[in-house]
Amino acid sequence: MELSLQKIAELVGGKVDGDDKLLVHDLAEIQHAEPGELTFLSNPKYIKFLATTRATAILVDDNFMESYPNLIRVQNVNFAYSRALAIFRPEAPKPAPGIDSTALIAKDAVLGNDIHIGAHVVIAEKCVIGNRVCILPNSVIGKETQIGDDAVIYPNVTVYHRCHVGKRVIIHSGAVVGSDGFGFVRVENSIEKIPQAGGVFIGDDVEIGANTAIDRGTLGNTIIGKGTKIDNLVQIAHNVKIGEYCFLAGQSGVAGSTVIEDGVTIAGQVGIAGHLHIGAGAIIAAQAGVSKDIPTGAVVIGSPAQEKGKVWREMANIRSIPDIKEKIKRLEQLASQKIIRNRNAQESEND
Amino acid sequence: MELSLQKIAELVGGKVDGDDKLLVHDLAEIQHAEPGELTFLSNPKYIKFLATTRATAILVDDNFMESYPNLIRVQNVNFAYSRALAIFRPEAPKPAPGIDSTALIAKDAVLGNDIHIGAHVVIAEKCVIGNRVCILPNSVIGKETQIGDDAVIYPNVTVYHRCHVGKRVIIHSGAVVGSDGFGFVRVENSIEKIPQAGGVFIGDDVEIGANTAIDRGTLGNTIIGKGTKIDNLVQIAHNVKIGEYCFLAGQSGVAGSTVIEDGVTIAGQVGIAGHLHIGAGAIIAAQAGVSKDIPTGAVVIGSPAQEKGKVWREMANIRSIPDIKEKIKRLEQLASQKIIRNRNAQESEND
Amino acid sequence: MELSLQKIAELVGGKVDGDDKLLVHDLAEIQHAEPGELTFLSNPKYIKFLATTRATAILVDDNFMESYPNLIRVQNVNFAYSRALAIFRPEAPKPAPGIDSTALIAKDAVLGNDIHIGAHVVIAEKCVIGNRVCILPNSVIGKETQIGDDAVIYPNVTVYHRCHVGKRVIIHSGAVVGSDGFGFVRVENSIEKIPQAGGVFIGDDVEIGANTAIDRGTLGNTIIGKGTKIDNLVQIAHNVKIGEYCFLAGQSGVAGSTVIEDGVTIAGQVGIAGHLHIGAGAIIAAQAGVSKDIPTGAVVIGSPAQEKGKVWREMANIRSIPDIKEKIKRLEQLASQKIIRNRNAQESEND
C-alpha cells in the first residue's frame, strides 16, 4: 500500500511540511529507514540519525526545530506513530470463531458468541466466557472464572478459579492469575499456610505481560483497575489494589495489601513493600524500593525511595566529601601554623 | 454457617471479651467488615479502621490495648485468623480421583492410589507418582521424576527429569523445576555449555510460587529443605542448598552453590551471590544484595547488604553532611576573621 | 565406567601429577567426593575442603600451588571439568524422531527431517521447522515462525508468530519469545496500545532460561546475537539488540531499544534502562542499575551504575564521615580555646 504524505497527515491528524504528494509504503526506525519509508522522531537521542536517515519523511512534534526535507508535524508523535503503524502494519485478523476439538470445556460453562478456543485449552466448571473471546492453545481457565467480551488470552496462560477478567483484557503467554498469595504463619517449629480464599478482579482494557504473576486475595480480591498496563515478569501479591490507567514496567513487584491510586507510573524492577498507599499520579523510578507511603503526584527514586530532589542533594553531598576533606586539611594546617605562631609569639614575648 | 463468638473462640483457642452469644457468618477485612462479620487486627497500621469498621467482633492479640465492643483475644492473631478462614471459607474439595483421557502417561510410570491427573498432562517414563497426588491440566513431568504423596501441581507446571518432589508439596502454575543451571565456560571466541547432570530435591511440605524457576544441579542436587516456602518469580540457581522452614519472598534470587541454613527469611527482590553461606535464622531485607556470608541470626539490609545498624549509621552520616558543611563554613569564617584580626593587629603594631 | 587418571588427562588435555594408573568411576563436588571419584577445584573458596575431601584425584589449574596426592593439571579447570562431566555423565540421548499423535501441526507447516514433536505441541500455519528439531510437550509455536536445525524447545514454551529461532538454540520451559512490547501512549484520560508489528530474531547457539520473556519489536526485530546465553526470569524488552556471546544472568532486565555489543557480561538482577548503548566486553555487576551508556570494556557497579573504582571511592568517603566529624570537633575545640584565650588576652590587656 502506498500513501501520500498528505493522506497520512490526514489520517494521523497532522500537517505536511514539505512535498505532500510524495508516496511512502511503510514505516521504519530512523536509523534503518530507506527512501519510500516514513519514520518518526520523538526521543531526542535519535536526532543524531537525522543526518544519515534516508527516510522520505519524518513524523515530528509541532514544535520540532531541526530541518528535514519532508516532515509531518503532529501534536503527539507517539500517538501519530501508533496510528501510522496501525495503517501500514495492520494486526493480523483475530483467529476465526471456532472451538478446537482438542479443547476441554466443562458442560456447565457458559460460552459467548463467536469465541475462538484453541487446541488443548481447558475451561473448567461454571466458567462464563464472553462474546468474541479468544483463548489460544494450552491455556487453562479454572472453575467459576469469568472472561469478559473480546478478551484475548495467549497460549500457556493459567487463570485460576473464581477470578474475573474484564472486557478487552489481553493476557500474554505464561502469565498466571489467581495463584495463592504468600500467606503463612510461623507456628512453633513449623509454618502453617493461611488459606487464600479471595479472588482476582481484573478491570476492562487491562494488559498483562508475559510470565507475570497476580496472586488471589486472602479474603477480598486482588484488584487491577481499568486500563492499567502491566509488563512482563511483574509480581502482584495478594490483596493489592491498583487503580485505573497505571503502568507497571517489567520485573516490578508490589507486596501484599498495598493500594495504588489511579495514573501511577511504576518503572522497571521497582519494589513496593506491603500495606502502603501510593498516591494518584505518583512516578516511581526504576529499581526504587518503596518502604513508605508516597504522596499524590510525587516523583521518587532510590532504595529506600525518597523524593527525587532529596536523593540528588544526598548524592551531591556524598560527592562533596573530598572537598570537605580538603577544607578540613587547610583548617588543620592553619590551626597548626597558628599554634606554632602563637608558640613563637609567646616564646618571643618570653625572650 | 453462623457461629457464636463463644464457639469461634473455642475453635481458634481464644477468649471472648464482650458478648459471646453474638453470631457471625463470615470473615472480612477490617475496612470492609459489616455487621455479622468477624475481622482481625494484627498490623498496627490498620488500628485506624477501628473507629469505622462495622464488624461484629475482632480477633486481636491477648495484650491488645484499644477498646471495641466485642473482641476475641488470642495468643497469635495470624494463626487464629488462619484457622477462622479455614472454618468460614473451607477450601474447595480436592478434585476427585481419576485420570483424564487426554493425559499421556508412560506405561512404565508407577502410579499411586487415588491420584487425579488432569487434561493434557504428560508423565514421562519411569516416573513415580505418590498416593492422592493431584496434577492439574497441561503440566509436564519429565522422566524418572518422583512426586510424593498428596502433592498438588497446578496447571502449566514443568518438572524436568530425575527430580524429587516431596510429600504435600504445592507447585503453582508456570513454575519450572529442574531446568539447566546457568553453567558455561568462555573458550577462545566461543562459549561452551557445562552439562547439568544433577537434579533437584524438594523436601516435604514445600510450596513453590507461580513462575518460579529452580535449576537442577551441575553434579549434585539443588536442594529445597522441608517446609520452606517460596513465593512467585523466584530464581534458585544450580546447586543451591536451602534449609528447612525458610521464606523466600517474590522475585528474590539465589545464585549458584549458595548454602542457606534453616529458618532464614529472605524478603522480596533480594539477590544473593553464589558460593555464600547464610546462617540459620538470618533475615535479609527487601532488595538487599548479599555479597558476603551472613552470620547466624543476623539482620541485613542494603546493597551491598550489611548489618542493619551499620547501614542506618551510614545513612545518618550521609544526612549529617549539610551540618558538617555548615560547621566548616563557620570555622573558615572564624579563621579568616582571625587572619584579618591578626593582620590588623600586626598593622597596628607596625603603626 | 572406570577410567585411569592417565586416560582422563588425555581426554581433557591435562597432565597427571601423582599416580596416573589410579581408576575413577565418577565426578563429585569436592565436599562430597569419595574414593574412586574425581573432583575439581577452581573457586579458591573451596580450597578449605582439600583437607577433608576423599576424592581420588582433583582437576586443578596448571599453576595450582597446594599439594594433594593426585592432581590432574589443566589449562582451564572449568573447561576440563565440563569435558569430564560429558564423559562420566553423558546426556540422555535426544528423544527419538517422531511426532506425537496429540500434536497439532498446521498442514502448511514445513517440517525438517528427524524431528521430535511431543504431546500436545501446537505448530501454527506456515511455520518452518528445521532438521532434528526437538519440541517437547505442550509448547506452542505461532504462525510463520522458523525454528533452526537441532534446536531444543522444552515443555510449556511459547514462541509467538513471525519469530526466528536459530540453529542449536535451547529454550527452557516457561520461556516466552515474541510477546508484545510494552508500548503505549497516554491519550487524554486513557492509554492507547501501540501495535507491536516487529518480530524476534534469535541467532544460532543461543540458550534461553526458564520463564524468561523476550518481547517482539515494535517495528524491526528484537535481536539476540549468536551464542549469547540468557538465564532464567530475564526480561528483554522490544527492539533490544544484543550482540554475540554475551551472558545475561538471572532476573536481569533490559528496557526497550537498548543496544548491547558483543561479549558483554550482565550479572543477576541488573536493570538497564532503554535507548542506551553498552560497549563490547563491558561487565555489569549484580543489581546494578544502568542509566547511561557504558563504554567498551568498562566494569560498572551500583545503582545508578558507575565505574567500579568511583563507587568504591564514594563508599570509602562515606565511611570516612565519622573521622571527618572527629576532626571538626577538634578544630572547634581549638577555635573555642583560642577565642577564650584571645578574650582572656584582651581582658588582661584591658586590665
Both A280 and A183 in a single domain? yes
Within-domain flag for A124: no
| CATH code, domain with A262 | 2.160.10.10
Task: Mark yes or no for CB contact B79/A187 under 8 Å.
Answer: yes
Asked whether the bond before C304 is cis by omega within 30 degrees of 0, the reply is: yes
Domain boundary among the residues A88, A120, A140 is at A88
pLDDT value, residue B64: 94
Rounded Cα–Cα distance for residues A16 and A14 (Å): 7
* Domain count along chain B: 3
In this complex, is the C-beta atom of A165 within 8 Å of any C-beta atom belonging to chain B? no
pLDDT tens-place string over residues C206-244: 999 999 999 999 989 999 999 999 999 999 999 999 999
Q: What is the mean pLDDT of residues B24-48?
A: 95
More confident residue, B46 or A346: B46
Which of A86, A156, A249 lies at the smallest CB-CB distance from C158?
A156
Task: State the smallest CA–CA distance between residue C155 and chain A in angstroms.
Answer: 10
In C18-145, DSSP assigns E strands to 23-24, 26-27, 37-40, 57-61, 71-74, 98-99, 104-105, 110-111, 116-117, 122-123, 128-129, 134-135, 140-141
Residue C344 has pLDDT above 80, yes or no: no
pLDDT at B52: 96
Inter-chain touch B275–C45, beta carbons under 8 Å:
yes
pLDDT(B325) > 70: yes
Interface check B145 vs C, CB under 8 A: no
| Separation in Å, CA of A188 to nearest CA in chain C | 33
Contacting C residues, span 104-133, partner chain B, CB-CB under 8 Å:
118-120
Residues A281 and A338 in one domain: no
What's residue B91's pLDDT? 82
- Is residue A337 predicted with pLDDT exceeding 90? no
Quote the mean pLDDT of chain C: 95
Residue C343 is part of which domain span?
320-351
pLDDT of A296 higher than 70: yes
In which band, very low, low, confident or very high, does the pLDDT at C351 lie, cut at 50, 70 and 90? low
State the average pLDDT over residues C130-136: 98
CATH number of the domain enclosing B53: 3.40.1390.10
pLDDT at C130 over 80: yes
* Residue A339 confidence (pLDDT): 67
> Which among C190, C213, C338 has CB closest to A210?
C213
| Test the A interface: residue of C219, C331, C341 with most A CBs within 10 Å | C219
Residue A119, SS3 per DSSP: coil
Say yes or no: B266 and B341 in one domain.
Answer: no
A266 shares a domain with A336:
no
pLDDT tens, residue by residue, A165-222? 999 999 999 999 999 999 999 988 899 999 999 999 999 999 999 999 999 999 899 9
Contacts of A300 in chain B (CB under 8 A): none
C-alpha span between C197 and C219 (Å, rounded): 5
SS3 state at C314:
helix
Q: In the predicted model, what is the mean pLDDT of residues B263-287?
A: 98
**Nearest CA distance, A157 vs chain B (angstrom):** 8
Residue A238 is a catalytic residue: yes
Does C237 share its domain with C290?
yes
Can you tell me the distance from the alpha carbon of B255 to that of C349, in angstroms, rounded to the nearest whole number?
Answer: 74
Tell me: do C230 and C350 sit in the same domain: no
Between helix A5-12 and helix A77-88 the angle, nearest 10°, is: 120
Distance from CA of A138 to the nearest CA of B (A): 7
Given a cut of 90, whether residue A251 has pLDDT beyond it is yes
Q: Which residues of B touch A192 (CB under 8 A)?
A: 79, 82
- Residue C158's pLDDT band (cuts 50, 70, 90): very high
Per-residue pLDDT, C114: 98
pLDDT at C347: 66
- Cell readout for C72 is 590432574
Contact C320 A318 (CB under 8 A): no
Q: How far apart are the C-alpha atoms of A205 and C115, rounded to whole Å?
A: 40
Of B100, B287, B325, the CB nearest to A271: B287
pLDDT for residue B99: 98
| Residue A51 sits in the same domain as residue A165 | no
Residues in chain C within 8 Å Cβ distance of B176: 156, 172-174, 210-211, 232
Question: Same domain, yes or no, for C294 and C174?
Answer: yes
Residue C210 C-alpha, separation from nearest chain A C-alpha, in angstroms: 10
Touching subunits for chain C (3+ Cβ pairs under 8 A): A, B
pTM of the model: 0.95
Per-residue pLDDT reduced to its tens digit, A110-130 = 999 999 999 999 999 999 999
| Average predicted confidence (pLDDT) for chain B | 95
Tell me, yes or no, whether B141 lies in a domain: no
Q: Does A289 touch chain B (CB under 8 A)?
A: yes
The pLDDT tens digits for C303-323 are: 999 999 999 999 999 999 999
- B127 found inside a domain: no
Q: Which of A89-93, A231-235, B129-133, C13-17 has the lowest mean pLDDT?
A: A89-93
C214 vs C193: CA distance, rounded Å: 18
Residue B95 above 80 pLDDT? yes
Q: For chain B, say whether C337 makes contact (Cβ under 8 Å).
A: no
Which of C173, C324, C338 is the best residue to mutate to test the B interface, defined by the most B CB atoms within 10 Å of its own CB? Answer: C173
Does residue C96 lie in a domain region?
no
Catalytic residue (choose from C116, C120, C238, C275) = C238
pLDDT at B265: 98
Q: Which of C91, C210, C303 sits opposite B176 (nearest CB)?
A: C210
Name the residue in chain A with its Cα closest to that of B100.
A104
A106 assigned to some structural domain? no
pLDDT at A346 over 80: no
Using CA atoms, how far apart are residues C114 and C98, in angstroms rounded to an integer?
7
- The answer to whether residue B145 sits within a structural domain is no
CA–CA distance, B236 with B252 (Å, rounded to integer): 9
Residues B246 and B327 in one domain: no
Instruction: Give the pLDDT band (50/70/90) at residue B289.
Output: very high
| Option in A212, A275, A291 nearest B45 (CB) | A275
Q: Grid coordinates standing for B78? A: 495470624
Q: How confident is the model at residue B342 (pLDDT cuts 50, 70, 90)?
A: low
Q: Which residues pair with C171 in a beta bridge?
A: C153, C208
Three-state SS for B117? Answer: strand
**What would the pLDDT profile of C72-123 be if each residue is shown by its tens digit?**
999 999 999 999 999 999 887 889 999 999 999 999 999 999 999 999 999 9
Statement to judge: residues C71 and C199 lie in one domain = no
Model pLDDT, residue C310 = 95
pLDDT of residue C187: 87
Q: Does C81 touch chain B (CB under 8 A)?
A: yes
CA distance A257 to chain B (A): 11
Is A215 touching B (CB cutoff 8 A)? yes
CB B43 within 8 A of CB B60: no
Residue B48: Cβ-neighbour burial (10 angstroms; 0-12, 13-18, 19+): exposed
Cell numbers standing for residue B122: 504428560
Q: What is the pLDDT of residue B347?
A: 66
pLDDT at B188 over 70: yes
In a domain, C124, yes or no: no
pLDDT value, residue B94: 87
* Chains with 3 or more CB pairs under 8 A to chain A: B, C
Residue A252 sits in the same domain as residue A181:
yes
Predicted local distance difference test score (pLDDT) of residue B345: 67
B156, A179: Cβ pair inside 8 Å?
no
Q: Domain check: are C220 and C255 in the same one? A: yes
Residue A113 lies in a domain: no
pLDDT, residue C137, reads 98
Among C88, C104, C126, give the residue marking a domain's end: C88
Tell me which residue in A82, A137, A331 faces C122 most closely, judged by beta carbons. A137
CB C263 within 8 A of CB C278: no
